[in-house]
Amino acid sequence: MRLLVLFACVGVALSQLYTFDKTLDSEWETWKNFHGKSYRSYDEELYRRAIWEDRLEWIAKHNREYDMGLHTYSVGSNQFNDMTLEEFSRTMLGYVMPLNQTGTLYMPPSDQKLAASVDWRSKGYVTGVKNQGGCGSCWAFSTTGSVEGQHKRATGKLVSLSEQQLVDCSRRYGNNGCGGGLMDNAFRYIAANGGIDTESSYPYTGRDGTCHFSKNSIGATVKGHTDIRRGSESGLASALSSVGPVSVAIDANHQSFMHYRSGVFYEPACSSTRLDHGVLAVGYGSNYYIVKNSWGTTWGNAGYIQMSRNRGNNCGIASSASYPTV
């Protein structure tokens, strides 16, 4: 009984650290239910509620400034509302910047006339938005996205490919499963392995597992990969215009990116060299790139973000871009 009383007293003491807005009680419950949130203890729920309320205030402030023309994009509530930026970075970001490029260097066609806009989704080169969950496997989703696009270009068939195979099987090539990896390493693995299985035959689990690749379930093959010159936005646009979707890495470790909702994303604090997240560029407009993320459809604009184009390589969008050759 004394132990129960002690725990009860600790709970009361912690609850007194926070002051909550009671008018948000219903919204809090709705948000938890929608995103499947549950917490290990009452104390953790208090902690998460405090983060959640602070985040709502930040979102409202940013969007007021957006309405005043102070930002080019809006932000919104999503599954990350109860996470600190440090937790978000540790859980969701898994790209490690390579020291050297390992593929053939991309050479833009000499007679190329760049299209004013490109969207490979409309041409059937892009599968639906996927969700990496709490595994740092962004690099695997970026890899499959560009392989899916090049396989479509070569065969006319769009096949969803297995991220889980890359998580489980490509460690010998320098990747670390849910602990992070590189798209170029994954391309090298697929080429050496003789292919990558379909998503349906090797489904995603969101955790490190034992490799069980089956040559009878291969959905696509890769011969090698091509790297776009580091920092070259003209090269990235050229490849997007003529080749198809391109794997890119960005600096996503910002609350603004974490809660992006709509508009053209520009983050002055972004780095062009400290890259931590692998995504897929699927097109561009006059002042933005169309980028597919792997955080599900509740993030961003149905899982996509428009990232600034020709604004000093913002967030490193062109610092580590590549695609497979099939």
Q: Which residues are catalytic?
A: 138, 277, 293
Does residue 257 contact residue 297 with C-beta atoms inside 8 Å?
no
Q: What are phi and psi for residue 255, nearest 5 degrees?
A: -60, -30
Does residue 118 contact residue 283 with C-beta atoms inside 8 Å?
yes
* Amino acid of residue 138: C
Does residue 143 contact residue 187 with C-beta atoms inside 8 Å?
yes
- Identify the sign of the CA torsion 108, 113, 119, 122: negative
CA distance 181 to 189: 12
CA distance 267 to 249: 15
Query: For the chain, what is the largest distance between any 2 Cα atoms, rounded to a whole number of angstroms?
Result: 82
Helix, coil or strand: residue 198: strand
**Residue 31, CA distances (Å) to 28, 38, 52, 254, 296 in order:** 5, 11, 10, 22, 16
| Angle made by CA atoms 325, 323, 276, in degrees to the nearest 5 | 150
Does residue 94 contact residue 81 with C-beta atoms inside 8 Å?
no
As given in the structure block, the two tokens for residue 38 are 């549950």
CA distance 114 to 116: 6
Beta carbons within 10 angstroms of residue 246's beta carbon: 31
Does residue 59 contact residue 259 with C-beta atoms inside 8 Å?
yes
CA distance 152 to 5: 64
Does residue 279 contact residue 269 with C-beta atoms inside 8 Å?
no
